[in-house]
Amino acid sequence: MSRCRPLPLLAAVFVGTSGVSGQDTPPGPTQHFADVPALSPVTDSMLHTPDPGDWLSWRRTLDAWAYSPLDEIDGDNVADLALVWTRPLAEGFNQEGTPLVHEGVMFMPNPLDVIQAIDAGTGDLYWEYRRPLPDDLEEHFIIFAGTNRNIAIYGTSVIDTSSDDYVFALDVRTGALAWETRILDYRAGALQTSGPIVAGGKVISGRGCEPAGGPDACIITAHDAATGTELWRRRTIPAPGEPGDETWGGVPFEERHHVGTWMVPSYDPELNLVYVGTSVTSPAPKYLLAGNDEAYLYHNSTLALNAETGEIAWYYQHIVDHWDMDHPYERILLETAVAPDPGEVMWINPDLEPGERRRVMTGIPGKTGVVYTLDRETGEFLWARPTVTQNVIADIDVTSGQVTVNPETRFTAVDQERLVCPGSGGGKNWPAGAYSPRTGLMYFPLQQACQMVTSTLEEPAPERSLYGIDTEFEDPPGGRRGTIQAISVETGRTAWEFEQEARTFSLVATAGGLVFGGDADGRFRALDDRTGEVLWEVNLGAPVLGFPISYAVDGKQYVAVSIGGPANTLFVFALPD
């Protein structure tokens, strides 16, 4: 039985784009309304072990846990949660921002490179930065949404990657531009829908790469966080003479396209390794490249990069793709006993000693919805299991970890149809999961869906079709539905599953025993982290596309989340005083 409350009246109403009523706004990209209080410079140590009330990175910590140690809001009182302030966000398709909070100041990314500094306790606006963008920006991208999922904070700067292919830093107190560095020419470059992390003083960022940019647009970069100086760039498509070149079957280098890294990396400071996932090739069906027997590295892979040099320490390829099943999503880093349950885990490395402790990289990295657990120092395959209906992976070699694609789902010529589950929308997509050390469970927003996929090209033609396929939704067995699944990091068992018709979105776990998350119908909920019982729910009126967080100001815990749609809006909840 769920315990729900109606949405209370808004605690404050803000007028105008700036959010300040009756005040003239000065010209220029930064509009300044009040001074930000003096903030402690953010250090590497703070990024790895934030103050309990702060949220300093995309998933709070660079291991991608999305776990808040705050416990004022718990299962006994969450039904009293009420809206305390709200703020309109900038217009733009796909509002998917993640707030950062440092010492009571919130920094909120909006669509189209708008960033706001806000009093995290009251919702009052300190400053707003609106990056000037080229008028012809949309003409140079196949799909341009202006999405801005996350930003970083380091030292006294807020750092982001822009829609026009720069990386830039703003002064945290004033919003003034501190530095900017061009990465690529946006006219034949990359789509930077997610922002960076900071690892050891380096701004690490990935991007989705347009075919027009060629293989040199498919890069991960590192910049000095203090100056913006580029330190290294790593291509995700090998050139002739480089390791992996042989896996492209002789496809000319300039015709290798679209292996992007459009989500956010994770980072292990002890190993000094950055973990980032990659996307599919363009086109997707491999008969259009050099045939179905090549691997085409490093698409649909996990890359472990040396943070100092950008060199690939190891890689693991999750699947050779033919249907647009990207694998760029969050990689969760933790130490755990590894004892996969053969009753629920389909693929287990036979050399694994059950119960041995490992530093692992785990989670659901791609659209197949398959959980992979790898040794994060070596990339050794430990175990994997599906979570949703899937028919694209026929088998995984449990010793080597090599994945075999179901031949019945591959294409060999134009105009062929294949029923593919979960489909290009993914069993898992960009909405991120969370991990709780309280329970040893990781929580994932997933969906059951299939597609009928048709190959459409006789030869590669990215100007006509990015992926070379057409898709049409098909219901899987049991019907299309959204789920949240709780899975043990130690055993791989499913502890509980919450199901509904609407698609589920990003999650956050808290020390109060709660998992917060929203859905496509506008419902934002708190679930019990051990049972999945819905304990509190409100309807925010539009898809809950933003990444939720929990933070504290003056000892009081808040939960923040944003919606996207006709009116992009940020909502903040807390217990009554």
Q: pLDDT by residue (tens digit) across 30-55?
A: 999 998 999 999 999 999 999 999 99
Q: pLDDT-based confidence at 189, cuts 50/70/90?
A: confident
pLDDT digits (tens, 9 = 90+) for 228-256: 999 999 999 999 999 999 999 999 999 99
Q: pLDDT-based confidence at 142, cuts 50/70/90?
A: confident
- For 228, phi then psi, to 5°, come to 85, 0
Residue 424 has pLDDT above 70, yes or no: yes
Identify which of 170, 265, 163, 164 has the alpha carbon closest to the alpha carbon of residue 221: 265
pLDDT of residue 4: 37
Q: pLDDT-based confidence at 202, cuts 50/70/90?
A: very high
Angle at 433 between CA 428 and CA 435, to 5 degrees: 140
Identify which of 320, 333, 440, 314 has the alpha carbon closest to the alpha carbon of residue 379: 314
pTM beyond 0.85: yes
Residue 513 has pLDDT above 50, yes or no: yes
What distance in Å separates the CA atoms of residue 174 and residue 423, rounded to the nearest whole number? 45
Q: Percent of the chain scored above 70 by pLDDT?
A: 95
The mean of the pLDDT values for the chain is 94
Q: b/e map of 330-365 (b: 16 or more CB within 10 Å)?
A: bbbbbebebbbbeeebbbbbeebeeeeebebbbbbb
Instruction: Classify burial at 46, counting beta carbons within 10 Å of its beta carbon; exposed 0-12, middle 13-18, buried 19 or more.
Output: middle
User: Which are the contacts of 69, defined by CB distance < 8 A and separation ≥ 6?
Assistant: 52, 510, 511
pLDDT of residue 26: 38
Q: pLDDT-based confidence at 93, cuts 50/70/90?
A: confident
Residue 43 CB coordination number (10 Å): 11
Sheet with 534-539, strands from edge to edge, namely: 67-68, 504-510, 514-519, 523-528, 534-539
pLDDT digits (tens, 9 = 90+) for 284-316: 999 999 999 999 999 999 999 999 999 999 999
Mean pLDDT of 196-204: 98
Residue 1 has pLDDT above 80, yes or no: no
Residue, of 50 and 7, whose pLDDT is higher: 50
Residue 260 has pLDDT above 50, yes or no: yes
pLDDT of residue 33: 93
